[in-house]
Chains A and B, each alone.
Chain A
Amino acid sequence: MRFANVLKFVIKFLLNRKFMTLLVLIVSIVSFILLGQMITYAFTGQYHAKEIEDKLSYGIDKTCQIQFPYKEETSEFRDKVNQLIAYGNTLEGVKGCGYYDFFGASFTELANNKNYIEKNELLYKNTPYGRHPESSQVLFVMEGISDLCRVNVIEGSDEFKRCDDGALPLLVGYEYKDIVPIGTELTNEDTGTRYKVTGVMAKGSKWLGDVDYLGTDTEKLDNKFVAMYDPEYIDATMSVLSSLDTCFCIVEDGADIKGISDKISAKANELKLGVFCKPVRAVLAEYEAPYKADMGLKVLLAVMFTFFSILSVSSSETVSILFRRPEYGIMYANGMSTADIIKMVVAENILVVAAAFIVAYGWESYSLLKDTSPFRTIRLSIHRELVSVYLLAVAAVIVAISCIVPIAIIKRLKPVELIKGRE
């Protein structure tokens, strides 16, 4: 029998047993949603670690984080930190040392730029920044670690050095490429420091977060500027203090990381600063340790939940199909074959499970798009790359298992037994 004819019967069967179909659909949808969520949350940490690894230009082994477990809100402390950074930059095998931070800043030349304000009103609509569209979101990064993250410059120069006229380099996000072109000079209204636009960043450029780069999503740079750390801020205690969670040291190929780390620690001790200097790999391992301990349990729960989902959906589908035996008898009597009936069983299961998959996956996609949590982007990636594949596999298993029992019964039954008893 043609597939269209099979489908005609299947749709009719499903509509005729609306309540049963609805129940099976609800069970399947809930199962798919819960499984999807379990997978998404279980893999968020791993995806984030991978993203950090991919984002760092020199990888997680050659990028070290300088951690300051103790901070002091004094100018002495600030000066010691800056001395330590300056010392780090002089060490053999060190490519660069420094810190970065995202600040809101105002550039005098943009304060009355109509196009810029309109663009920001659009970009920051419904966010706190939307109230001050004339201000700019700037990543201030020290020269030594300006290439900490991979950022492609699509126009201008990717060299992040002070310009010949003394102005500091500034890269513009993709969204501003036509509004703030290369060569534009900008003045930091707070400090009077002069900046000059030297390049435009590629669309989709990202940088690590500034508060807790391991615990939060990466920052998109499309609607931001990247500027060399303003010297005035280096002398400001609060600015330096707020940047210490993102203090890094990049080492060169083949450098003695342990030796460098020891020297930085020794210098810190000499300055009476307590610091740890370790590769990001080690920092990540410490961060993930408690999550990894839970991972086994999460995987076990996911497996168990998958099993119960398969069992519940399969059994309800099987019962629903077996209720229909008299109809199958009538079909046999009217020229249909066992293969035709089996096609109906399979098509019905596929239809129900596929509908449940689409609703559940659509619902989860919608929820994630509306999600405002820090890991939204990562969760969307997991949802797209991992959850979709896993749920499709579970859906295929549900269809296969749901078909086994009814097909076995249908194959064993004789048409005469379905439509009428023996005389």
Chain B
Amino acid sequence: MIKIKNLVKVYKGETYETRALDGIDLTIEDGEFVAVMGPSGSGKSTLLNVIGCMDTLTEGEYYLDDYEIHKLKLKELHKVRREKISFVFQHFALMSNFSVYENVEVPLLAKNVNKSRRKKIVYEKLKMLGIDNLADKLPTQISGGQQQRAAIARALTSDNDIILADEPTGALDRKTGQDLMNMLTEINASGKTVIIVTHDDKVASATKRIINIVDGRITGDEENA
């Protein structure tokens, strides 16, 4: 379960100070399928990064299962990230010089999974997403939709409970985007918590809960029928 109390995130530079998140209170139960919506600059990606332990809090409290994230230093967050969280990014974030197989394998290498087991898991996920025939291809040799499937396969290999997707359909055409949402729905149905950041109403409508953020504050949080 994710529980956030009065979360504040401030970015400070020499000449500026930006309050990206300003007093967020939020609870997300295990197995929820949530969309975080808001205009550009509203703080939704920052919220996702904090939830995903890619960034720290300035103020407030953040509990993730048994972890008190707000008490952990940045260098301690990788353990939580490795054990609990997987990411899917808008531009797929695949390493261009690594094959699809090698990209999908990365979280398993971080977890020190042995070679034969890595191979079994990677091919299982690639098959599940229908891209096992592309294992040896480089990301530049496959389509955007196939790249996003590879990114999802990578997110699934580590079998983490939470999947965070930042504008996952942003770089895809409508049909491929729809396919992707169907996949994320299936993943959520298997028991995983899926949180999507989007500004696309159609994408949000596929989720079960929609949270609206404006200027770093939650302005709406409702069930999606």
Contact = CB atoms under 8 A, between A and B. Distances in A.
B109 A5 contact: yes
A340 to B, nearest CB: 7
A335 B45 contact: no
Contact of A422 (B45, B87, B109, B154): B45
A329 B45 CA distance: 16
Contact of B54 (A12, A339, A419): A419
Contacts of B128: none
A330 B87 CA distance: 10
Interface string B53-82: 011100000000000000000110011011
A334 B54 contact: no
B44 A334 contact: no
Contacts of A416: 49, 54-55
B interface: dominant SS: mixed
Interface in A134-178: none
Interface in A83-99: none
Contacts of A339: 75
A68 interface: no
Interface residues of B, number: 40
A329 B82 CA distance: 14
Interface string A1-34: 1100100110010001000000000000000000
A414 B12 CA distance: 14
A333 B93 contact: yes
Interface stretch (B22-30, B35-43, B175-183, B204-212): B35-43
Contact of A335 (B11, B41, B158): B158
A294 interface: no
Nearest to B111: A335
Interface of A: 1-2, 5, 8-9, 12, 16, 327, 329-340, 414-416, 419-420, 422-423
5 contacts: A5-B109, A12-B98, A333-B52, A335-B158, A416-B54
Given A333-B54, A335-B81, A336-B110, 5 more contacts: A5-B112, A332-B81, A335-B78, A337-B78, A416-B54
